[in-house]
Structure 1
Amino acid sequence: MGLFNGLMGNATDANHDKVRKDLENVLLPDEKIELAYKLVRDLVVFTEYRLIVVDKQGMTGKKTDYKTFPYKSISRFSVETSGHFDLDAELKIYISGALEPAQTLLFRKDDSINAIQKALAAGIMK
């Protein structure tokens, strides 16, 4: 069911060992991955220090955009849950001093958004 959920836009738990290997040039040597979610080809990774959003681009996914948000720079976030007609749940991340969200992530109706919201709250409350 994991592949089907990924194709439908649902976030699925990502294997931490595979994520560590994929992000070996991004992660610090001792940086611990706390949560990782795969969203089709993209990744949302929570470490002990930061949130990393990996956006695979293009047809082949060879071009990759890595965004790092240190928890201390995240001033707030908002979560809009899905409804009957609007099936997407939305997470918006704001950084200090910005009026517009620095990152918006869309999820289909699932429980991952709740776990992501808790992880983000725990990260910025440190």
Structure 2
Amino acid sequence: MGLLDGLLGNASESDAQSIQQELTHLLADGERVEKAYAVIRDLLVFTNKRLILVDKQGVTGKKVEYLSIPYRSVERFSMETTGHFDLESELKIWVRGQADPISKTFRDDNSIRDVNRALAEYAL
């Protein structure tokens, strides 16, 4: 998947090594990036210890929010695939202590399935 997929809202798997270097200031000793997915400018990063959601904001993307979710805090998650008239799929993650789920929208069933599989692999 390339730049066009990212612009359309399809998740594309990113190089874990480059994301490791980009997030080096956030990672704990011994923590390593194992998988990462880019959706437009945002990232879903799976480390060996937690899930990090990177939300780049503003026109330039210079302002960035990093949401760190320990895997033990993920209570449940759901995946809604696309239909005939609904062209967007949605991933929801319920985190302990929050009433509302974290929601991410995708335009491709294959990419959301990859992210869902990675979430199952690390959170279960």
Give the aligned partner of residue 34 of structure 1.
34
Give the aligned partner of residue 111 of structure 2.
112
Amino acid at match of 2:44: V
Shift of 1:97: 4.2
| Residues 107-116 or 84-93, more deviating | 107-116
Where do 4+ consecutive residues of structure 1 move more than 4 Å?
A: none
Q: Under a length normalisation based on structure 2, what TM-score does the superposition of the two structures give?
A: 0.93
The number of aligned residues is: 124
Amino acid at match of 2:64: T
| Residues 112-121 or 55-64, more deviating | 112-121
User: What are the ranges of 5 or more consecutive residues in structure 2 without an aligned counterpart?
Assistant: none
Alpha-carbon RMSD? 1.3
Q: Distance in 1 between matches of 2:34 and 2:89?
A: 22
Native 8 Å contact 2:82 2:89 kept in 1: yes
Look up the SS of the partner of 1:111 in the other structure: helix
Give the aligned partner of residue 65 of structure 2.
65
Q: Distance in 1 between matches of 2:40 and 2:97?
A: 31
Look up the SS of the partner of 1:19 in the other structure: helix
User: What are the ranges of 5 or more consecutive residues in structure 1 without an aligned counterpart?
Assistant: none
Q: Distance in 2 between matches of 1:88 and 1:26?
A: 31
Q: Under a length normalisation based on structure 1, what TM-score does the superposition of the two structures give?
A: 0.91
Give the aligned partner of residue 18 of structure 2.
18
Look up the SS of the partner of 2:114 in the other structure: helix
Shift of 1:61: 0.3
Q: Distance in 1 between matches of 2:98 and 2:64?
A: 24
Look up the SS of the partner of 1:79 in the other structure: strand
Identity, in percent, stands at: 48
Amino acid at match of 1:33: V
Q: Aligned pair 1:83/2:87, yes or no?
A: no
Pairs within 5 Å for 1:93-108: 93-101=93-101, 103-108=102-107
Shift of 1:5: 0.4
